[in-house]
Amino acid sequence: MSLNLSKSEAAFEAAKELMPGGVNSPVRSYRSMGSTPPFIARAKGSRIYDIDGNEYIDYVGSWGPMVVGHAHPEVVQAIQEAATRGTSYGAPTLIESELAELVMKIYPSVERIRMVNSGTEATMSALRLARGYTGREKIVKFIGCYHGHSDSLLVKAGSGLATFGVPDSPGVTAGVAKDTITVPYNDVEAITKVMEEQGDAIAAVIIEPVAGNMGCIPPKQGYLQKLRELTQQHGALLIFDEVMCGFRASLGGAASAYGIRADITCLGKIIGGGLPVAAYGGKAEIMDCVSPAGPVYQAGTLSGNPLAMTAGITTLSILMREEEGQPDKSRQLTLKTKDVVMGWTAAAKEAGVKIQAHQAGSMFGIFFAEHEVCDYETAAAADQEAFKIWFHAMLEQGIYLAPSQFETIFMSLAHSDEDIEKTIAAAGAAFRKVRESRR
Ligand code: KE4
């Protein structure tokens, strides 16, 4: 059964005359899937609806932020009320302090925080701060990790760059790239060697503590602890980019799930509840080097926007709310995710298709591979053609997933038991389609 996407097809052709590739962010283009992206009309709870009237169970969740579900009544009402008081002042407000305090409760390693508007801004600013604080210039990032599109970090990056097979981007100068050292994720020997040889020149090691931009790949046992030790030993800062895994790997993100205190933590997505908020924060001694407290400059017209702060506060408050006789929200999300991962694993086995299924809290993903997937190289060696067949078979059955195996799938509190049953049944049919394609 193929989807009727006629209105989206027309809209996409028109949009290509207005925006590069018809989109405002590359991965939305479905380019690697070779098909037309549904143009979305609205969303509610776990459901998303396109302009042709197709309904889907949504596991993209705006690439992570919609953890309490789309158009949550409390979030909508809070934003509506805030809007009646004006949409932006460019001046200090109490609501910025309120979100800051909430985040510090969840992330004890964050003693000071600066709100910005995107994950890219957060990681770019964190790197500038690390360089300003240490006086060093080199940074280390991991092959396949994606930290947004600032020049220093568009080197062997994941997400859309991996999807389109262009790990580096034109326009990033050799002068910038030379200060970015890249090593494979989950490879203790490689990072140990780099730190032993160059550690004293390295300002920071930045990592997605749970990788989500080469598909979902959790860290190996003890890996993050080793990074913490190595950076401490050589006076380099450890930056956790928790823009994606923050509030998802657990309520306190990877920091809490793996018991590691990073020097600087970058947050995004869920912190804004679907409005543009991101942040970087950490030790007061380090953060107080940021202007105007210190000399490292960083600024933003709409940073701390009151509507965005409101959406973030309401979303995090729902996530933190305890209900009598119910497991906490983070546990509920993890259990829902586990049901899907277990269901997909069983369905793939029954269909005779080998997959690797990964989960970290309420983020998850699969690879069509018999081998262990633990880094970018092994992720890239998975069967991407099989993923494409499976992706389209899922979409045609009303399951809306990220259009790339180098992305992660996201659960929300709004996904019901019925949604999960449908998702597992659809995957079974899709795995059978993959098997038939291999005959
Ligand atoms: P933004 O600048 O897109 O808000 O955040 C960049 C970023 C930083 N760090 C991590 C770990 C991230 O996952 C991201 C952005 N994630 C992608 C999805 N892989 C956003 C979706 C997109 O690029 O359209």
| 26-43: pLDDT as tens digits | 999 999 999 999 999 999
Q: What is the pLDDT of residues 265-289, one digit of tens each?
A: 999 999 999 999 999 999 999 999 9
Catalytic residue check, 241: yes
Determine the atom of ligand 1 nearest the C-alpha atom of 28.
24
Element containing residue 112 per DSSP (H, E): strand 112-116
Task: Give the CA radius of gyration of the chain.
Answer: 21
Q: Considering 50, 58, 241, 375, which one is annotated as catalytic?
A: 241
| Nearest of 238, 183, 244 to residue 217 by alpha carbon | 244
Read off the DSSP letter of residue 217. Answer: B
Instruction: Find out whether the beta carbon of 275 lies less than 6 Å from any atom of ligand 1.
Output: no
Give Cα separations from 210 to 157, 362, 375 (angstroms): 15, 12, 11
Instruction: Establish how many alpha carbons lie within 13 A of residue 133's alpha carbon, considering only the half-sphere containing its beta carbon.
Output: 26
Q: Summarize pLDDT for 55-93 with one digit per residue, the tens.
A: 999 999 999 999 999 999 999 999 999 999 999 999 999
- How many whole angstroms from 119 Cα to the centroid of ligand 1? 6
With vertex at residue 106, the alpha carbon angle to CA 105 and CA 109, rounded to the nearest 5 degrees, is 85
Q: Is 242 exposed, middle or buried (0-12, 13-18, 19+ CB in 10 A)?
A: buried
Three-class secondary structure of residue 235 per DSSP: coil
Confidence band (pLDDT; 50, 70, 90) for 54? Answer: very high
Mutation test of ligand 1: which of 40, 125, 243 has the most ligand atoms closer than 8 Å to its C-beta? 243
Work out the pLDDT band at 193, boundaries 50, 70, 90.
very high
Fold type of domain 6-71+327-437:
Aspartate Aminotransferase, domain 1 (3.90.1150)
CATH of domain 73-320: 3.40.640.10
DSSP-based three-state secondary structure for 200: helix
**pLDDT at site 132:** 98
Res. 1 pLDDT band, cuts 50 70 90: low
Q: Establish whether 146 is a catalytic residue.
A: yes
Strands 264-267 and 237-241: parallel
The reply to whether 6-71+327-437 and 73-320 are identical in fold is: no
Which positions ≥6 away from 382 have C-beta within 8 Å? 215, 356, 367, 368, 369, 373, 405
pTM over 0.85, yes/no: yes
Q: Which two tokens stand for residue 154?
A: 């568009």
Kindly list the domain boundaries of the chain, sorted by start residue.
Answer: 6-71+327-437, 73-320
Lowest mean per-residue pLDDT among 47-56, 73-82, 159-168, 323-332: 159-168
